[in-house]
Amino acid sequence: MNFWEHALVETAARYSVAVLCAVLFLAIFEVVTKYNNWEQIKKGNFSVAMATGGKIFGISNIFRYSILHNDSLLEMMAWGLYGFVLLLFGYFIFEFLTPSFRIDDEIEQDNRAVGFISMVISVGLSFVIGANIN
């Protein structure tokens, strides 16, 4: 058995790639939102924590499906990236479908109902995206 094909090495590689991608994707979400996620979480903004937690869960869930259905790291990363783009698109759709208020403003003001819905949308969409990964 080749060193790179050992289950422990493959697990470490997939884990490392998923964590690095999650950090990158969260940084992109940070740019997209009007508020500073980590500063708001530090202040105790539970709505931001729920929305960010939903994004972390969503990204991780997409990678879960990607790992299950792809043999190579490159395929796993490609599906993970594609899933993230779809998740990001879902965020913009949520913002578009609520023209009477701004999602980011409500979450920044700790509107927990909006934070909760944002979390559920991220989690729910991650299952839909993941179910379609080949």
Mean pLDDT of 12-37: 94
Q: Which two tokens stand for residue 124?
A: 């729910």
Residues 86 and 127 sit within 8 Å (Cβ to Cβ): no
> Per-residue pLDDT for 67 more than 80?
yes
Q: 99: number of CA atoms within 13 Å, CB side?
A: 0
At residue 4 the predicted structure's pLDDT band, cuts being 50, 70 and 90, is: low
Burial of 64 (0-12, 13-18, 19+ CB in 10 A): middle
The pLDDT tens digits of the residues spanning 89-113 come to 999 999 898 889 899 999 999 999 9
Residue for token digits 């992109």?
Answer: 28
pTM here?
0.89
**Domain segments of the chain: what residues?**
3-131
Q: pLDDT by residue (tens digit) across 42-61? A: 999 999 999 999 999 999 99
Q: Please return the burial class of 54, using the count of CB atoms within 10 Å of its CB with bins 0-12, 13-18 and 19+.
A: buried
pLDDT at 5: 75
Residue 6 pLDDT: 80
